Amino acid sequence: MTHIAILTDTLQQGECHATAFGDSASIATLSVGSRRVLVCAPETADPRATVRALRDLGVTHVWLCESVGALSPLLDVGDWLVPDDYIDGTRGQHYTYFSEKAGGYAQQTPPFDPASRDALTVGAGSVSARTFRRGVYVCVSNTRLETPAEAAFWTRAGGHVVGRFLSPCLTLARELGMEVAVLAQVVRSGGEPGSALPLATYEPALVTAFNSLASD
């Protein structure tokens, strides 16, 4: 049975769950269309605790809905993107559950679940004619936005959008057997300030995506 959790860049009021890695971030249960989904933001909790809690709650898919900056000149504010690859520009985080033993390090090819990407592309296309089904998501530190120089650097490295919340949740979720995908909306140019959109902005696209995934 498919059970989807939404990782978002806006804080959520929910319940924290105890794990071997400490307490998780607040995890809320919300209705999106006719489906009940778990929703959480990374906050300051150990990401291993949050991802482990989601898996313990039966989650099979983790979808990140995030407001991002455009690195590509082809992207405008308001565009939607479902990335097919990513660059991890973070450092100093907990990237694996197997740091003290052999194993782990789940294969990242393909980087995102194809079925989830197809569903999210259908969902985004239902609300916007400016939907891109391919692109490279660059993840930077979740403690701050990128500088203009960093935006220029990541553009030259092949990035199309820049966000803050994919890593290390992606690799952790993959190690626990969950499928991962991203639905991003451009709210600013890279290296410039901007504000995160509320989760409600994504709900119409998510409802269509849920139905598309269920019909496959």
pLDDT tens per residue across span 191-213: 999 999 999 999 999 999 999 99
**pLDDT above 90: residue 87:** yes
Peptide bond preceding 148 in cis form (omega within 30 of 0) = no
pLDDT recorded at residue 107: 72
Nearest one of 135, 151, 155 to 193, comparing CA atoms: 151
Nearest one of 206, 199, 9, 33 to 121, comparing CA atoms: 206
pLDDT recorded at residue 103: 53
Least confident segment among 92-96, 123-127, 178-182: 92-96
- Judged on CB neighbours under 10 Å (0-12, 13-18, 19+), 136 is buried
Helices (H), 35-82: 47-56
Nearest one of 8, 14, 11 to 26, comparing CA atoms: 14
Q: What CATH number has the domain bearing residue 59?
A: 3.40.50.1580
**pLDDT above 90: residue 102:** no
Q: What is the pLDDT of residues 18-70, one digit of tens each?
A: 999 999 999 999 999 889 999 999 888 999 999 999 999 999 999 999 999 99
Supply the range of the domain harboring residue 86.
4-215
Least confident segment among 22-26, 109-113, 128-132, 203-207: 109-113
Question: Taking the complete model, does pTM exceed 0.85, yes or no?
Answer: yes
pLDDT recorded at residue 159: 98
Q: What is the pLDDT of residues 179-188, one digit of tens each?
A: 999 999 999 9
Domain count, the chain: 1
Say what angle helices 203-215 and 114-125 make with each other, to 10 degrees. 130
